Structures are given as C-alpha cells and as structure tokens.
Amino acid sequence: MMQGLVIGLGNPDRGDDGVGRVVAQNLRRMAPAGIAVREHDGEASGLIALLPAELPVVIIDAARAGGTAGRIHRFDAGAGPLPAELGAWSSHGLGLAQAIELARVLGRLPRCCIVFAVEGASFALAAGLSPAVAAAAQALPAQILAELAALAAPGAPERGNGP
C-alpha cells in the first residue's frame, strides 16, 4: 500500500510563496488512503517536528530563482543537502534547506525525503498564484503520487531515518 507524508510549505498571503500549500490542497482531494497531507508555514523547528520517523516524506516549497515561473525542480534531500542557493530562495526564517540539514544532524530526517521547489514570479502581498505557478500546482500532485507509488513498489529503497 502506498504510504507517505506530503507537506506543502508557504505563506498563502504572499503570492507564489503559497504554492506548496496549494499543491497540498490539490493533492488532498485526490490522495489515496495511506497518504497524509499537511500544510505548514515552513518554520524550521515546527517542520522538523512534523517529519515522520519511518514514512517517505515529500515537501513542496516555492523557489525564487530568477528563471522560469512555474518550473518544477526535484531534489532528493535524503541523499544530500539541497543546493545552497535554495536556502536563499526559501522564505521561512531558517529556510527549508537549513531545516533539512538540522533534521539530518539530529537524526530526524527520513531516509526518503523528496523536495519539489516551484519557481515563483510574484511574492507580493495578497497577489495569489501567478498563472504559470498555478498550472504547476495543478500538475504536481500527480507527479508526487507517482513518486510515492514508485517508492511503495517492490524493490523500492529502504525507508526509515538516515544515519
């Protein structure tokens, strides 16, 4: 059975910064039993407290890369640190990259931790999602479920906390 936790991060009042939470909301409507979905503001210690001990976790956050709005980046955070620049993209105090590294140092990071970062265009107050980012928020849930299904398949990588 497919199992996992999906966490959408962001500030819903700051335009594309809220894309992670919209992805979580979209995914919640289609997630099968066994897939838990949470939304969070991204504050590092609160995010670490959410991380499961055993289940695969997928985290979605906004990114500000100066590239193409709506472009989706995938990172295997269980295998290694996020790119350094992601810390600067993230919007939540210590940042997602720092939260993941702190969890890793404390032995709290699940072995399987996938991060999707969606490039945003506008982070203005009450702006809502820009069209390209809203389109990414529609497309990403299916990609996440496919990822979790692959992890549940026979021969998938071992779960549990990293070293």
Partner 1 sequence: MADRTIKVAQLARVEGEGALKITIRDGAVKQAELNIFEPPRFFEAFLRGRAFTEPPDICARICGICPVAYQMSAVHALEAALGVTVDGPLRALRRLIYCGEWIESHGLHVYMLHAPDFLGYQGAIELARDHADIVQRGLDMKKAGNAIVALVGGREVHPVNIKVGGFYRAPRRRELQGLVDQLERGRDAALATVRWVAGFDFPDCERDYEFVALRHPAEYPFNEGRLVSSRGLDLAIADYPQHFQELHVAHSTALHSQRAGGGHYFLGPMARYSLNFDRLPALAQDAAKAAGLGPVCRNPYRSIVVRAVELVFAFDEALRLIADYVEPDQPAVPCEPRAGTGHGATEAPRGMLYHRYRLAADGTIEDAVIIPPTSQNQPTIEDDLKSFIGGWLDMSDEALRWRCEQTVRNYDPCISCATHYLRLDIDRA
Among 30, 49, 142, 156, binds partner 1 (CB under 8 A): 49
Q: For partner 1, which stretch binds (CB under 8 A), given 26-34, 110-118, 122-130, 141-149? A: 122-130
Asked if residue 150 binds partner 1 (CB under 8 A), the reply is: no
Could you list the beta-strand ranges (E) of 70-161. 72-76, 113-119
Strands 35-40 and 57-63: unpaired
Under the binding rule (CB under 8 A), the answer on residue 24 touching partner 1 is no
**Cα 72 from Cα 59, distance rounded (Å):** 13
User: Residue 97 is inside which H or E element, if any?
Assistant: helix 96-105
Which of 1, 84, 105, 153 touches partner 1 (CB under 8 A)?
Answer: 105
Shortest distance (Å) from residue 146 CB to partner 1: 29
Report helix angle 131-152 to 19-28, nearest 10: 50
Q: Which CB atom, from 51 or from 72, has the smaller least distance to partner 1?
A: 51
Cβ pair 142, 87 in contact under 8 A: no
**106 interacts with partner 1 by CB under 8 A:** yes
Q: What tokens appear for 30 in the block?
A: 């289609």
Return residues touching partner 1 (CB under 8 A): 11, 13-14, 17, 40-41, 43-46, 48-49, 64, 88, 91-94, 98, 101-102, 105-107, 123, 125-126
